[in-house]
Amino acid sequence: MASKRERFLSAAAPDAYFLDADDVKGLRQYLGEREWLMPGESVQRAEIAGQGNMNCVVRAVTPSRSFILKQSRPWVEKYSDIAAPFDRALVEAEFYRVVSGAVAADWMPQFYWVDPTSRILCLEDIGTGGDLSRLYAGARLDAADQQRVGGFLSALHTSRSQMLNHEMRALNHFHIFVFPFDSENGLDLEKFTPGLQQASQRIKKDLKLVARIKQLGQVYLSDGDYLLHGDYFPGSWMRTTFGIKIIDPEFAFAGPREFDVGVMLAHLTMSGDTTALDALPTYYAHWSELDQRLVQGFAGVEVLRRLLGVAQLPLKLDLDRKRDLIDSSIRRILE
Ligand SMILES: Nc1ncnc2c1ncn2[C@@H]1O[C@H](COP(=O)(O)OP(=O)(O)OP(=O)(O)O)[C@@H](O)[C@H]1O
Ligand SMILES: [Mg+2]
């Protein structure tokens, strides 16, 4: 069985660098060759920066600074037997390039460089404050947080773009619109919440609902004009000493603004942050221009796929609450 390093090097060029937090010596040499370190500067240590699923994300520390290196490999980092689009770091770099100089870039880490050969991005280290997953455990967005998460999307959704990102969109399409609604998908929902399998049956049998979900999936796949973040949920919102910053645009594409807004709405719904939910039309600037049926449809599908698909969240909800969410999501989708 080939090692991850060997598998990576056979997919990339032989002179590519395989990122490894345990290989400080190799990291020093790699960064030296890229002329990224200042004269006399050396990497003292490296560590895994945080719990991502898809990529290898490392914090490199020198005596005077730290920075983040993010490498995409031709598999899902957490499950290396599952293939994933190799070039997603390049998409992410493209996103940072498109937004550079725009307001949205102020609320993201600074983008330093990309190494296309090794599929490595180098980003500003925005600290160890963690993401906003604690919203699912009862934490709330205060007014400043709401302004920031809404303000970022409002600013981003003024940028026009041609970004296709077909490969990542196909992957997301499958996990959002197809797999969770396939009665033969083999996923054991009972291991998440006993009774959930039974509760999900009515969705899979409701032909009108299944048809509408399919239609929404087609809208997701069709090309649009606005640059979207593509994965706008609390896992992409980081706490920093300068307020919330937004990371991880690897699923970005030019599409309908309703998708980003619907996904955000879904996560505020699941976290039970009703104040933030009710205020969304005030802190997201383009609300009145949106097709509300589409927003509600995407929101409903996002809730369902998080309950019934593989990308589970740290939600502490019992079966009754999950049933309520399933019912309200179905109503949203069929609105
Ligand atoms: N610029 C940064 N500064 C500080 N920490 C960061 C930065 N970028 C990422 N991290 C840390 O690394 C974690 C994973 O980063 P990111 O979400 O970009 O990776 P990913 O592999 O795409 O994750 P996922 O599988 O959830 O999409 C973040 O949750 C965060 O803790
Ligand atoms: Mg990601």
- Indicate whether 156 and 219 sit together in one domain: yes
Q: How far does residue 191's CA lie from ligand 2's centre (Å)?
A: 25
Residues 31 and 163 reside in one and the same domain: no
Rounded-to-integer distance, Cα 50 and Cα 69, Å:
12
DSSP letters of 282-317?
HHSTTGGGS-HHHHHHHHHHHHHHHHHSSS------
Which of these three, 79, 102, 124, is where a domain ends? 124
On the question of pLDDT at 154 being above 80, the answer is: yes
Read off the CATH number of the domain in which 71 is found: 3.30.200.20
- Give residue 243 CA to ligand 1 midpoint distance, Å: 17
57 lies in the same domain as 159: no
Q: Is the CB of 126 under 6 A from ligand 1?
A: yes
Check whether residue 44 and residue 60 sit in a common domain: yes
Q: 260 and 232 in contact (C-beta within 8 Å)? A: yes
Helix (H) or strand (E) holding 196: helix 196-205
Task: Please give the number of the atom of ligand 1 that sits closest to the Cα of 109.
Answer: 1
The ligand minimizing its distance to the Cα of 76 is 1
The neighbour count for residue 281, using CB atoms within 10 Å, is 13
- Say if residue 203's pLDDT is above 80: yes
Neighbours of 54 (CB within 10 A): 23
Nearest by Cα to 123 from 54, 67, 192, 51: 67
In angstroms, what is the span from residue 316 Cα to ligand 1's centroid? 23
CA of 87 from ligand 1 middle (Å) equals 17
In this prediction, residue 1 has a pLDDT band, given cuts at 50, 70 and 90, of confident
State residue 265 phi and psi, 5-degree precision. Answer: -60, -40
List helix spans (H) across 235-286.
257-271, 274-283
CA-to-CA distance for 151 and 264, rounded, in angstroms? 13
249 lines ligand 1 (CB under 6 A): no
Q: Best of 121, 247, 306, 313 to mutate for ligand 1, by most ligand atoms within 8 A of CB?
A: 247
Residue 204's pLDDT band, with cuts at 50, 70 and 90, is confident
- CA dist list (Å): 115 to 5, 15, 18, 319: 17, 12, 12, 46
> To the nearest whole number, what is the mean pLDDT of the chain?
96
pLDDT tens digits, residue range 101-112? 999 999 999 999
Phi and psi torsions of 299, nearest 5°: -65, -45
Q: 57: Cβ below 6 Å to ligand 1?
A: yes
Residue 49, both tokens: 């920066």
- Give the pLDDT band (50/70/90) at residue 213: very high
Token output for 198: 């039974």
320 forms beta bridges with none
For the Cβ of 272 lying below 6 angstroms from any atom of ligand 1, the answer is no
- The total of structural domains in the chain comes to 2
| Residue 82 sits in the same domain as residue 171 | no
Q: What does the pLDDT average to over 7-16? A: 92
3-state secondary structure 48-72: ECCCCCCCEEEEEECCCCEEEEEEC
In terms of domains, do 93 and 150 share one?
A: no
Query: What residues have their beta carbon closer than 5 A to ion ligand 2?
Result: 54, 248, 250
Instruction: List pLDDT tens digits, range 215-248.
Output: 999 999 998 989 999 999 999 999 999 999 999 9
247 CA closest ligand 1 atom index: 18
Range of the structural domain that residue 60 is part of: 4-124
Residue pLDDT, tens place only, 77-86: 998 999 999 9
Judge if 33 and 173 occupy the same domain: no
Mean pLDDT on 38-44: 93
- 256 and 184 in a common domain: yes
Ligand 1 atom closest to Cα of residue 124: 1
Three-class SS state of 115: strand
- Ligand 1, atom 20: closest residue by C-alpha: 52
Q: Residue 53 C-alpha to ligand 2 middle, in angstroms?
A: 7
Mean pLDDT of 180-195: 95
Q: Is 49 in the pocket of ligand 1 (CB under 6 A)?
A: yes
Nearest to 309 by CA among 220, 203, 150, 165: 203
The alpha carbon dihedral of 215, 216, 219, 220 has a sign of: negative
Mean pLDDT in residue range 206-219: 97
Residues 99 and 140 in one domain: no
Q: What is the DSSP letter of 233?
A: S
Q: Kindly report the CATH number assigned to the domain that includes residue 318.
A: 3.90.1200.10
Q: Are residues 143 and 257 in the same domain?
A: yes
Say how many Å lie between the first and final Cα of the chain, rounded: 51
**238 plus 198 within the same structural domain:** yes
Residue that finishes a domain, picked among 80, 97, 124: 124
Same domain, 82 and 205: no
- Whether ligand 1 lies within 6 angstroms of the CB of 66 is answered as no
pTM exceeds cut of 0.85: yes
Question: Which residue(s) pair with 79 in the sheet?
Answer: 76
- State the distance from the centre of ligand 2 to the C-alpha of 201, rounded, in angstroms: 30
Instruction: Choose the final residue of a domain: 124, 155, 178.
Output: 124
The predicted pLDDT at position 202 comes to 87
Give me the pLDDT at residue 103, please: 94
pLDDT digits (tens, 9 = 90+) for 311-324: 999 999 999 999 99
